[in-house]
Amino acid sequence: MNSPQRSVAVIGAGTIGLSWASLFAAHGWTVRVSDPRPDLGQAIDDAVSEAAPALIALGVDVETSDLRSRITASASLEEAVDGVSIVQENGPERVDWKRELFAKLESITAGDTILATSSSSIPASEIARDIADGSRIIVGHPYNPPHVLPVVEVVPSEKTSQTTIDRAAEIYASLGREPVILKKEIAGFVGNRLQLALLREAFSLVHAGVVEPEMLDRLMRGSLGLRWAAVGPLAAVRLGGGPGGAKHLMENVGKEMEHIQLGSPTPEAMTDVAATIDEAYGQKDYATAAKDAGRAQIAILTATRKAAA
Ligand SMILES: NC(=O)c1ccc[n+]([C@@H]2O[C@H](COP(=O)([O-])OP(=O)(O)OC[C@H]3O[C@@H](n4cnc5c(N)ncnc54)[C@H](O)[C@@H]3O)[C@@H](O)[C@H]2O)c1
Ligand SMILES: O=C(O)[C@@H](O)[C@@H](O)[C@H](O)[C@@H](O)CO
């Protein structure tokens, strides 16, 4: 019998859910997956085959066969969540759908089961709005793919108990993740708000004909992206100021940029640029592009971890 404390229900087996399932299984957890997709078994097989080499490259001691044997497709939600320590939900990004699911989860799971959503932007308080308790509901927002990118944004609502916060962070850390616990709830959390700000400006610059998508990406990869992967944007501000630090940089460089108005692209412009991006990168099929991106991310992560050791 698998120890009940290392069992997880993964609700929703799409891009994110399958990556979570592989990660939990790679760390010895019993994983039960619930999803109405007709090809669930094959999807799990494919996801494990794809994730295993990445997990091994990142130093996780896992045999692909062992990994796959720890993941089962459940016939129902009730079967999936029976006796698990944590539920990691990865269903459609729709608040109504998540509200309904979490209300059901709260009624059918044990009183100490953590109920986590992978949501990209919906706060736990919105999901728990109509739920009396809500103390077990929390956001555990990963970055795609969770089995490679280490950060999980842990975002409690005011209803979430400290025990839930602590245990969720502890579970994610036990999977080799880097939990970032937010002090306050905000729609979009921190990562996606920052990503949104940067992408809005990037889309605006492409739409205005200032730069082509590939050139903007080359610029980011060879400058800010590289710098931020090494030290993070705020530590970089401090370094940018030299011995005078962030204060010096803001006084001597920041001031001159205060007049700059950033772009605010219309939905139509965003759609146009999305088409331009797909055209620019479409010659490489999605699977190959995703595999290449995974390899590059693992190389950078391995190098930055080695440098920090
Ligand atoms: N894709 C990303 O980059 C990313 C990153 C971080 C977080 N997220 C979040 O993770 C969640 C899932 O995103 P995704 O990209 O994996 O979506 P996806 O569309 O790939 O997967 C969603 C899955 O939910 C399943 N589903 C639908 N109804 C269901 C039900 N009643 N019970 C169980 N499963 C059901 C679908 O069959 C599908 O497999 C969203 O909340 C999203 O915001 C996505
Ligand atoms: O970048 C990520 O993986 C996460 O921030 C996601 O939540 C987000 O939805 C992106 O995929 C899209 O911006």
Q: How many other C-beta atoms lie within 10 A of the C-beta of residue 133?
A: 11
Integer CA distances (angstroms), 174 to 27, 122, 215, 236, in order: 8, 25, 39, 29
Whole-number Å distance between alpha carbons of 215 and 206: 10
* pLDDT-above-90 percentage for the chain: 91
Which residue has a Cα nearest atom 7 of ligand 1? 120
Q: Are residues 60 and 167 in the same domain?
A: yes
Q: Are 149 and 300 in contact (CB under 8 A)?
A: no
Q: Are residues 63 and 112 in the same domain?
A: yes
pTM listed for this prediction: 0.95
ipTM value of the model?
Answer: 0.98
**What pLDDT does 265 receive?**
95
Task: Name the token pair of 185.
Answer: 């709830």
Residue in the structure block whose two tokens are 């709830």 = 185
Task: Work out which ligand 1 atom sits closest to the CA atom of 93.
Answer: 41
Question: What is the distance in A from the centroid of ligand 1 to the CA of 184?
Answer: 25
Question: What is the distance in A from the centroid of ligand 2 to the CA of 119?
Answer: 9
In a domain, 125, yes or no: yes
In a domain, 2, yes or no: no
**What pLDDT does 255 receive?**
84
In a domain, 143, yes or no: yes
Q: Are residues 102 and 143 in the same domain?
A: yes
Task: Work out which ligand 2 atom sits closest to the CA atom of 120.
Answer: 7
DSSP 78-143: HHHHTT-SEEEE---S-HHHHHHHHHHHHHHS-TT-EEEE--SS--HHHHTTT-S--TTEEEEEE-
What would the pLDDT profile of 3-16 be if each residue is shown by its tens digit? Answer: 558 999 999 999 99
The SS3 assignment for 32 reads strand
Give residue 203's identity as a one-letter amino acid code. F
Using CB distances shorter than 6 Å, the residues near ligand 2 are: 120, 143-144, 191-192, 195
Question: What is the distance in A from the centroid of ligand 2 to the CA of 136?
Answer: 24
Question: What is the distance in A from the centroid of ligand 1 to the CA of 286?
Answer: 18
Counting the structural domains of the chain, the total is: 2
The domain in which residue 107 lies consists of 7-181
Which residue has a Cα nearest atom 8 of ligand 2? 120
Give residue 16's identity as a one-letter amino acid code. I
Q: Are residues 78 and 15 in the same domain?
A: yes
Q: Are residues 232 and 125 in the same domain?
A: no
CATH code of residue 136? 3.40.50.720
Q: How many other C-beta atoms lie within 10 A of the C-beta of residue 19?
A: 25
Question: What is the distance in A from the centroid of ligand 2 to the CA of 192?
Answer: 7
Using CB distances shorter than 6 Å, the residues near ligand 1 are: 11-17, 34-37, 90-93, 118-120, 141-142, 144
Which residue positions in the chain have pLDDT lower than 70?
A: 1-4
**What pLDDT does 4 receive?**
55
Task: Work out which ligand 1 atom sits closest to the CA atom of 142.
Answer: 6
Pocket test for ligand 1, best of 35, 105, 121, 192 (most atoms within 8 A of CB): 35
Which residue has a Cα nearest atom 20 of ligand 1? 14
* pLDDT-above-70 percentage for the chain: 99
Task: Work out which ligand 2 atom sits closest to the CA atom of 192.
Answer: 5
**What pLDDT does 98 receive?**
98
Q: Are 185 and 155 in contact (CB under 8 A)?
A: yes
Question: What is the distance in A from the centroid of ligand 1 to the CA of 94?
Answer: 10
**What pLDDT does 91 receive?**
98
Question: What is the distance in A from the centroid of ligand 2 to the CA of 12?
Answer: 16
Whole-number Å distance between alpha carbons of 24 and 87: 12
User: Which stretch of DSSP H or E encloses residue 9?
Assistant: strand 7-11
Q: Are residues 261 and 140 in the same domain?
A: no
CATH code of residue 239? 1.10.1040
Question: What is the distance in A from the centroid of ligand 1 to the CA of 287?
Answer: 18
**What pLDDT does 64 receive?**
74
What would the pLDDT profile of 56-89 be if each residue is shown by its tens digit? Answer: 999 998 887 789 999 999 999 999 999 999 999 9
